[in-house]
């Protein structure tokens, strides 16, 4: 008798907010994970209900990422997205997916972009999936000079730096 390895999926809050259940319950041989911070982000009745349904099915587990891996991934994200606008919750979800060697389920395009850069498998259950990855740079709004991620203002003219696609 052979046993098949379960498929591991990490869920972002967008899954609970925008999904009509019991969609995920129909997935065979799947184990779902999310973080406690994702759960704290669920505010409306529908997303809380979706969370409760999946949790009660026994198919959803709470797990938080390793702190040391969290710091490593933040550094890797800064290389392709300086001054990222990803939330700590988004980064935690990415780290947990890497930690568990799973697939990230999200409808968040910015999170999909970061996952793609980190070679994290992505699955979208509703909404759009990114078609290309983007790198971001800091550029002065006044003179157009590209800046280093550590700079707060343009070293050329003192203008404000803006995060723009490369």
* Same-domain status, 59 and 100: yes
* Same-domain status, 11 and 73: yes
Range of the domain at 63: 7-123
* Same-domain status, 149 and 113: no
Return the ∠ at Cα 41 (arms to 102 and 30), rounded to 5°. 25
* Same-domain status, 110 and 148: no
- Residue-wise pLDDT for 112-163, tens only, equals 999 999 999 998 877 677 777 777 778 888 888 888 666 778 887 888 888 8
- Residue-wise pLDDT for 26-74, tens only, equals 677 889 999 999 999 999 998 998 899 889 888 899 999 999 999 999 9
Q: How many domains does the chain have?
A: 2
* Same-domain status, 96 and 160: no
* Same-domain status, 91 and 154: no
Distance in angstroms (rounded) separating the CA atoms of residues 137 and 45 = 38
Report the predicted TM-score, pTM, of the whole model to 2 decimal places: 0.77
């Amino acid at each position: 008798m052979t046993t098949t390895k379960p498929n591991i999926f990490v869920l972002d809050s967008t899954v609970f907010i925008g999904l009509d259940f019991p969609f995920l319950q129909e997935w065979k041989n799947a184990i779902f994970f999310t973080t406690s911070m994702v759960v704290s982000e669920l505010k409306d009745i529908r997303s809380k209900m979706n969370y409760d349904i999946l949790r009660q099915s026994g198919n959803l587990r709470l797990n938080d990422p390793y702190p040391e891996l969290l710091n490593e991934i933040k550094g890797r994200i800064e290389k392709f997205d300086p001054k990222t606008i990803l939330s700590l919750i988004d980064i935690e979800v990415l780290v947990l997916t890497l930690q568990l060697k799973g697939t990230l389920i999200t409808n968040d395009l910015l999170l999909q972009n970061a996952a793609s850069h980190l070679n994290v498998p992505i699955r979208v259950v509703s909404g759009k999936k990114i078609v290309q990855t983007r790198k971001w740079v800091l550029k002065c709004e006044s003179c157009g000079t590209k800046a280093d991620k550590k700079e707060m203002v343009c070293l050329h003219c003192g203008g404000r730096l803006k995060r723009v696609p490369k």
